[in-house]
Structure 1
């Protein structure tokens, strides 16, 4: 029994010995934007992705900013404990970018020993973030400074094994990206189709729709919704009582909700088509309307026109000069939109539904890829265990 325990302990120590101190494989790079040639300023978010920086750099000397190249990492040591995330991102674009001088730029000392993509896969794991949080210091910003980051140990198998895992992960990402690019083509088709309809068969909205004023008189419906600037229904934040709900308007599938307020301020016409089977209630300040004849215009086609940026800009242009910059119902009805043959409308709506379905699939693909890094890295550790046992 004692011998078996000693053997198990010995094997465990062998596996641990294959974990390497990260600082032995990576190094800092400090290349500044001295000639101001690079203007693409980026930051890092908590999902370990680069994003356009929101920093106000007006009057800032960008020559002090650090240049990051393809295959290098940007690392922020701050707030690791607060966010429970190690802000580390691998830069993969061909053209260089600049990042804040507060960030560190890291690169692999020898990519024949440590592939950058492999290292990034390890830090995509929730376990890595939790460990970074655990070893972060006790400062206000709960930082994980460079020296302590270098002490982190990760499994580093043979370069051929690293390439195998990286190739598998990158293959999945490439497939997902290809699918995502096809969405852009479909979106272009939909937009171009709509553009061809401008200035043709125009009719005022008021001739196509009618107001609906059904109240929640029995208080049966409790699902209270509002409309956001993206023209999407959302749970309302309004404070109300069960007794007051009887005053709210009912909106049903195929009907529209419209808010005339703050169109000028937000530069958005808040109007949205309700597509759910169960009815909901909305503020009495909103208007509810429906199309008069679906053989003349489809509700989905009308909503597609409402989504267009041009529609929002025109609504903002004709909004009144009140404090809330409203677009009252009477003025909203006067807006003219194209009404092509119903067959054309059906074709555009079909393309749009296909696009929306594929967008949902794409999001599901991205969500399914996220957990793969922990799975693949677990495979690395387990393969090391097998090799240890066999040896």
Structure 2
């Protein structure tokens, strides 16, 4: 594919449609993942008629925090119903949609190289913003419209597959929890505290805790960050590593097979199971996490993992929240959370077999999702070639 690089400003123009008739009260922000999301700003008592009204096919971006986040939050609005965004956002449209396709342009905005270029252009303020003129100076290739559509279709095929696999995993998770609830309701149970069947291990928070310059993009031991342990298990989109020497210098906090990781500070209660499908041989938790390690044979890691993902566990965590500025889950409180455990070993064995099968399928799907994400990133890189 041969194409000439042209200035972005040649193909986009600012628009300023205001919510003067209050056509919408849905306030949206933009995430660093370049997607619209409900705004976290407190708009009570705010004059929403001043906000910008965005409709299908328009772009919006937040130019103010690029220096801090090293990414430009920018997104294409694709919903049929209009919404509103901050008056401080840039809102723009493509000048000629027969020359430049909006989905192709959004793919270009998703490239890591685009974010790096925006970051280099930021001003000297603390947070670092980017100007409209700087954005317009960025160069991008403009292949023929037919070639753009071919690229878009390839990208859509990947994203459709990812969405399908995620939906399958959501259904598997729901099925697992339904099986758990049914088993508890139909069988004799024994109230059992979490601390009676699992050990809690926190990370090394001492003098050997790695400093910022000791992390790298590749290395011997994956050092988990907050984005690696999500509401749906492990995610390895953004990883940081430490050397073997640093890992060995630290004490507790290194994962063993079938350990469960739980986030105990900031975002509370996310859990992930470290099984044979995880591609990293050495993983260590950070200071905002705990390792939950089974200590009785009759309760398997898969069964404990299912309990920790349950709505009952989420409700219990809400009751034990502590700390205001930084919510956290003390081990002493977690140990007291009591579950209704089926009394029959036969029932527990059957649950283990079912949950193991479900989690195996979820893990296989997650690995495929990771491979598809890597493929989509390659496609985005190839846009510049």
Q: TM-score range by the shorter chain?
A: 0.5 to 0.7
Q: Name structure 1 gaps, 5 residues minimum.
A: 1-14, 215-221, 236-241, 379-391
Contact kept in structure 1, 2:63 and 2:131, CA below 8 Å: yes
1:298 alignment counterpart: 300
1:203 aligns with 2:161: no
State which of 112, 131, 145 in structure 2 corresponds to 1:145: 131
Contact kept in structure 1, 2:63 and 2:130, CA below 8 Å: yes
Alpha-carbon spacing, 1:75–1:208, altered in 2? closer, same or farther (3 Å): closer
1:366 aligns with 2:373: yes
* TM-score, structure 1 as length reference: 0.66
1:171 alignment counterpart: 157
Rg (Cα) greater in structure: 1
Contact kept in structure 2, 1:273 and 1:303, CA below 8 Å: yes
C-alpha distance after superposition, 1:235-291 (max 9, x if no partner)? 9xxxxxx9996xx899975678999xx9xx9996799977699999999x9997622
2:145 alignment counterpart: 159
Map 1:97-246; keep pairs closer than 5 Å.
Answer: 97-138=83-124, 141-201=127-187, 202-205=189-192
3-state DSSP of counterpart to 1:57:
coil
Aligned counterparts of 1:180 and 1:330: Cα–Cα separation in 2: 30
Q: Name structure 2 gaps, 5 residues minimum.
A: 202-208, 210-220, 235-240, 242-247, 323-327
Aligned counterparts of 1:47 and 1:274: Cα–Cα separation in 2: 26
Contact kept in structure 1, 2:294 and 2:300, CA below 8 Å: no
3-state DSSP of counterpart to 1:93:
coil
* TM-score, structure 2 as length reference: 0.67
Shift of 1:115: 0.8
1:349 alignment counterpart: 356
Alpha-carbon spacing, 1:178–1:110, altered in 2? closer, same or farther (3 Å): same
Aligned counterparts of 2:194 and 2:85: Cα–Cα separation in 1: 54
1:88 alignment counterpart: 74
State which of 24, 32, 45 in structure 2 corresponds to 1:38: 24
Shift of 1:204: 2.3
Alpha-carbon spacing, 1:330–1:86, altered in 2? closer, same or farther (3 Å): closer
Aligned counterparts of 1:279 and 1:102: Cα–Cα separation in 2: 42
Shift of 1:369: 1.1
1:376 aligns with 2:378: no
Contact kept in structure 1, 2:224 and 2:283, CA below 8 Å: no
Give the length in aligned residue pairs: 336
2:61 alignment counterpart: 75
Alpha-carbon spacing, 1:28–1:309, altered in 2? closer, same or farther (3 Å): same
State which of 296, 309, 315 in structure 2 corresponds to 1:313: 315
C-alpha distance after superposition, 1:358-382 (max 9, x if no partner)? 223313322331231121331xxxx
Contact kept in structure 2, 1:251 and 1:288, CA below 8 Å: no
State which of 336, 342, 348 in structure 2 corresponds to 1:338: 342
1:383 alignment counterpart: none
